[in-house]
Amino acid sequence: MKTKNKLYWDKELNPEQREIVSYTDGPILVLAGAGSGKTRVITYKIAYLILEKNILPERILTLTFTNKAANEMKERIASFKNLKCDNLWIGTFHSMSCRILRREAKFVGYKNTFNIYDENDQLKIIKEVMGRFGYSEKNILPKTIYRKIDYAKNHLVSPENYVVSDWDRYDNIVKSVYSEYEKFMKSHNAVDFNDLLIKPIEIFNTNPSILKKYQNKFKYILVDEFQDTNLAQYQLLKLISQKHNNICIVGDDDQSIYGWRGAEISNIMNFDKEFKGAKIFKLERNYRSTKNILGFAQSLVNNNKNRRDKNLWTPNEEGEKISLGSLTDEKGESNWIAQNIKKEIFKKKKRLGDFAVLYRTNAQSRVLEEGFYNESIPYTIVGGVRFYERKEIKDILAYLKVISNPDDDINLKRIINYPARGIGKTTISKIEEISKEKGVNLYQGIKLGIESKNLPDRSRENLKLFYYLIEKYRSIIRKISLNELVRTLIEEVGISTLLRKEGTEESLGRWENVQELLSSISDYSKQKNNGSIDGFLEKISLFSDLDVWDNKQDAVTFMTVHNAKGLEFSSVFITGLEEGLFPLYNYMNDEKEVEEERRLFYVGATRAIDKLYLSYVVKRMRFGEIKNTKCSRFLDEIDRRFIVNEIEPIKVRKRKLKNKINAKDERYRAGRSVAHEIFGIGRIIEIEGTGEFVKILVDFEAVGRKKLLVKYANLKFMD
DNA sequence: AGAAAGGTTGTTTTT
DNA sequence: CAACCTTTCT
């Protein structure tokens, strides 16, 4: 007998899933294969805990890999009847630890207004510290040091514990720079991504009462994508879950693809040893892909040695075989993809949003973009240059960061003379001198500089203006809305005039980005009922491109295979399957690393619902040089039964010939009605170009004006 | 002080 | 090939 409050799940979950949902107490490991409905299990489990076990939402902690996954989960839970989820903690590891750190910052000597530094900021500090030590950037790259520090922090190695190995001549430098880097961060009230995880661990280890508070609070802990947790995340989990020991982790060792970021596949491999008495469940039924796709993916990942045994199956139909395209170069590859997309849209009535084009490195997206642009196929790119990392955006954010946390020298230097206000290099280095002498931060150094006799009147006047500008905003920070503050700010400091007066296409684009920033601030204010600067800054620091990606958009999605984790598409293209690219050459020689590349390929392949395409090229431009390539070893490993080798480079050329028209082709005239596979019906406006470069401008009823290359447009005449 | 030009360098994947 | 840094020119 079910009451209104109870969970109706018979139709929604299979017996295995139901068993997992209702098994609530003690440690649980769910080994969930690709497409086996693990997110569904987690959401139902949360609902079950609240509705059936009467657990208060605020006592449940759920950790996901991306904000996007967290938001989707929240939405799904909100759709359950009678379920209040306002107080649920659902978020990424980083956002959760950041939340904890904001509250408890003082226990590690931080103020709760700390700023979060990204890789660029970190590099600036490393360069500065290197300069202090007199290390030249010529001999050792700041980026190399950055990577080593990052690696150390990922593995919870402090500067004191950093081991200088005798085979690495840079380790000495790394150790000393690392140590200074940490001091710098602390004295400027800044943290990096790793600190978000490390600092709470430090707090918990040194303040048992604080740890107890969180241990008591979170009676149930659920973790998604557990295979990609690193040492710090694992440590945090162990600390928080210790008391109640109700921890449910869900993951798939075959999808562990973040080893380079410190993820430890051993966390999932050894979970049942660390958490004694852990109950292990397996979800092996795949709901997503066709038999062909799943079989193909299995035949690939079976080549890995370090993995848990599993037996994925699907009741879905055989489906089409996997298409393998062998193309002459990346232009051909892009073209092959475009043609296949058009074909499928036409024949199978798919939408543009059903397609994803995946690649190993972001750099590959450029040629694909060009190709799709020429073909007039709408696309969106996820990743690459992140929105909040664009220069114009970071400039404005730097103002906000300084206003909120004036200890932040890095961001202060970024804006002190932007837009130009007559504070040049000489003045800045004078200020730095003063600051160092008095042992204060730059901001206070400026204040001292205003009074200093060693500076020319002109500079002192400019410094004064700048100082009081920031002071003014610091004093009104709580009096006016965030929205208003930012708008006045960019007017007052002259960023808006600066960007608009240039008038180039580039500056116009930048101005548009600023507008986008402003509207994202408006959104945030609305959502948070007038949120704070800190809140906004935190949100965007932890935001990824994927989080803003709109999967309902009518456009083909381009992204890295890493970004595709957890998503699904009707048709998926995996491109650039060449030795050195996929697997990437840094990872070609070590068998463990090749296994991770193979898992990455597996992740990409299992995103596809009913059609998978693979492609490689014979020649590829790299480093500005055209090089011959060798096709990926992975293509030799897989079971050929699943593959159809349908495309040869010649065939693409044939298509071109078939569609080629002459400039004289009189069928194309302004005014005629035409139909396009993707854009629908439209009217020809004008014709330009000759030979195979004939372009026509068509005004489509549904999507407006588009310029198309006749050669590829495949237009049908309607009159 | 700031822009323009020239040289050099390097490509992984991201919260 | 581009992004980035340094130098040089105005």
The answer to whether A527 CB is within 7 Å of strand B is no
Residues 6+ apart with CB under 8 A from A118: A192, A193, A389, A541
User: Residue A232 in contact with residue A257, Cβ under 8 Å?
Assistant: no
Query: Which pLDDT does position A700 carry in this prediction?
Result: 77
Q: Which nucleotide is nearest to A621 (CA to C1')?
A: C1
Q: How far apart are CA A581 and CA A632, in angstroms?
A: 8
The answer to whether A304 CB is within 7 Å of strand B is no
Q: Which nucleotide is nearest to A586 (CA to C1')?
A: B12
Angle, CA of A606, A609 and A613, to the nearest 5°: 70
Q: How far apart are CA A429 and CA A442, in angstroms?
A: 10
Residues 6+ apart with CB under 8 A from A371: A331, A334, A335, A337, A338
Q: Is the pLDDT of residue A230 over 80?
A: yes
The answer to whether A424 CB is within 7 Å of strand B is yes
Give catalytic status of residue A39 as yes or no: yes
Q: Where are the alpha helices (DSSP H) in A503-622?
A: 505-528, 533-541, 545-548, 591-605
The two tokens of residue A123 are: 């590099």
Q: How far apart are CA A191 and CA A198, in angstroms?
A: 10
Give catalytic status of residue A224 as yes or no: yes
Interface residues 351-390 of A with strand C (CB < 7 Å): 366
- List Cα–Cα distances, A498 to A389, A394, A473, A519, A557, in angstroms: 19, 15, 21, 20, 34
Query: Which pLDDT does position A410 carry in this prediction?
Result: 84
Query: Which pLDDT does position A652 carry in this prediction?
Result: 40
The two tokens of residue A235 are: 């440590």
- Three-class SS of residue A481? coil
Q: Identify the band that residue A666 occupies on the pLDDT scale cut at 50, 70 and 90.
A: low
User: Stated in angstroms, how far is A229 CA from C1 C1'?
Assistant: 36
User: Residue A634 in contact with residue A300, Cβ under 8 Å?
Assistant: yes
Give catalytic status of residue A607 as yes or no: yes
Of A132-146, A402-416, A447-461, give the lowest mean pLDDT range.
Answer: A132-146
The answer to whether A425 CB is within 7 Å of strand B is yes
Interface residues 105-134 of A with strand B (CB < 7 Å): 118-119
Interface residues 359-388 of A with strand B (CB < 7 Å): 360-363, 383
Backbone angles phi, psi at A548, to 5 degrees: -100, -5
Query: Which pLDDT does position A283 carry in this prediction?
Result: 93
User: Residue A561 in contact with residue A574, Cβ under 8 Å?
Assistant: yes
Give catalytic status of residue A255 as yes or no: yes
Q: How far apart are CA A582 and CA A601, in angstroms?
A: 8
Query: Which pLDDT does position A3 carry in this prediction?
Result: 41
The two tokens of residue A187 are: 């004295």
Q: Which of A39, A43, A64, A364 is catalytic?
A: A39
Q: Which of A229, A233, A255, A560 is catalytic?
A: A255
Of A168-177, A377-386, A633-642, A674-683, give the lowest mean pLDDT range.
Answer: A674-683
Q: Secondary structure of A39-84 in the HEC alphabet?
A: HHHHHHHHHHHHHCCCCCHHHEEEEECCHHHHHHHHHHHHCCCCCC
**Residue range A482-535, pLDDT digits in tens:** 888 888 988 888 888 877 776 666 677 778 788 888 888 888 887 777 678 888
DSSP conformational letter for A138 = T
Q: What is the pTM of this model?
A: 0.82
Mean pLDDT of chain A: 85
Q: Identify the band that residue A170 occupies on the pLDDT scale cut at 50, 70 and 90.
A: confident
Span A542-550, mean pLDDT? 79
The answer to whether A56 CB is within 7 Å of strand C is no
The answer to whether A518 CB is within 7 Å of strand B is no
Q: How far apart are CA A181 and CA A230, in angstroms?
A: 22
Q: Which of A45, A59, A153, A607 is catalytic?
A: A607
Q: Which of A16, A38, A254, A545 is catalytic?
A: A38
Q: Identify the band that residue A650 occupies on the pLDDT scale cut at 50, 70 and 90.
A: very low
Q: Which nucleotide is nearest to A624 (CA to C1')?
A: C1
The answer to whether A429 CB is within 7 Å of strand B is no
Query: Which pLDDT does position A138 carry in this prediction?
Result: 66
Query: Which pLDDT does position A655 carry in this prediction?
Result: 37
* Residue (of A249, A244, A193, A250) closest to A214 by Cα position: A244
Interface residues 133-152 of A with strand C (CB < 7 Å): 137
Angle, CA of A239, A243 and A247, to the nearest 5°: 75
What positions of strand B are covered by protein, i.e. any atom < 7 Å from a CB? 1-2, 9-15
Query: Which pLDDT does position A145 carry in this prediction?
Result: 87
Q: How far apart are CA A476 and CA A471, in angstroms?
A: 9
Q: Which nucleotide is nearest to A127 (CA to C1')?
A: C5
Q: Which nucleotide is nearest to A137 (CA to C1')?
A: C5
Q: How far apart are CA A87 and CA A646, in angstroms?
A: 54
Peptide bond between residue A583 and the one before it cis (omega within 30 degrees of 0): yes
Q: How far apart are CA A205 and CA A104, in angstroms?
A: 13
Query: Which pLDDT does position A36 carry in this prediction?
Result: 92
User: Residue A613 in contact with residue A574, Cβ under 8 Å?
Assistant: yes
Query: Which pLDDT does position A271 carry in this prediction?
Result: 87
The answer to whether A621 CB is within 7 Å of strand C is yes
Q: Is the pLDDT of residue A663 over 70?
A: no
Question: How much of chain A, in percent, has pLDDT values that exceed 70?
Answer: 92
Q: Are strands A619-622 and A608-617 parallel, antiparallel or unpaired?
A: unpaired
Q: How far apart are CA A665 and CA A377, in angstroms?
A: 24
What positions of strand C are covered by protein, i.e. any atom < 7 Å from a CB? 1-2, 6
User: Stated in angstroms, how far is A137 CA from C6 C1'?
Assistant: 13
Q: Is the pLDDT of residue A659 over 90?
A: no
Span A272-276, mean pLDDT? 86
Give catalytic status of residue A225 as yes or no: yes
Q: Which residue, counting CA atoms, is nearest to the C1' of nucleotide B12?
A: A361
Q: Which residue, counting CA atoms, is nearest to the C1' of nucleotide B13?
A: A562
User: Residue A359 in contact with residue A573, Cβ under 8 Å?
Assistant: no
Q: Which helix (H) or strand (E) holds A633?
A: helix A633-637
Q: Is the pLDDT of residue A613 over 70?
A: yes
Tell me the residue type at A183: K
The answer to whether A586 CB is within 7 Å of strand B is yes
Residue A715 C-alpha from the chain's centroid: 38
The answer to whether A11 CB is within 7 Å of strand B is no
Query: Which pLDDT does position A1 carry in this prediction?
Result: 36
**Residue range A557-596, pLDDT digits in tens:** 999 999 999 999 999 999 999 999 999 988 888 898 999 9
User: Stated in angstroms, how far is A442 CA from B2 C1'?
Assistant: 24
In the sheet where A673-676 sits, what is the strand order?
Answer: A704-709, A695-700, A680-688, A673-676, A716-717
- List Cα–Cα distances, A461 to A105, A437, A455, A643, in angstroms: 37, 22, 10, 73
Q: Identify the band that residue A356 occupies on the pLDDT scale cut at 50, 70 and 90.
A: very high
Give A552: exposed, middle or buried? Use CB within 10 Å, 0-12, 13-18, 19+.
exposed
User: Residue A396 in contact with residue A490, Cβ under 8 Å?
Assistant: yes
The answer to whether A81 CB is within 7 Å of strand C is no
Task: HSE, CB side, 13 Å, CA atoms: give it for residue A640.
Answer: 3
Q: Is the pLDDT of residue A59 over 90?
A: yes
Q: Which residue, counting CA atoms, is nearest to the C1' of nucleotide B8?
A: A138
Beta strands in A66-169 (DSSP E): 89-92, 115-117
Q: Identify the band that residue A622 occupies on the pLDDT scale cut at 50, 70 and 90.
A: confident
The answer to whether A507 CB is within 7 Å of strand B is no
Question: How much of chain A, in percent, has pLDDT values that exceed 90?
Answer: 40
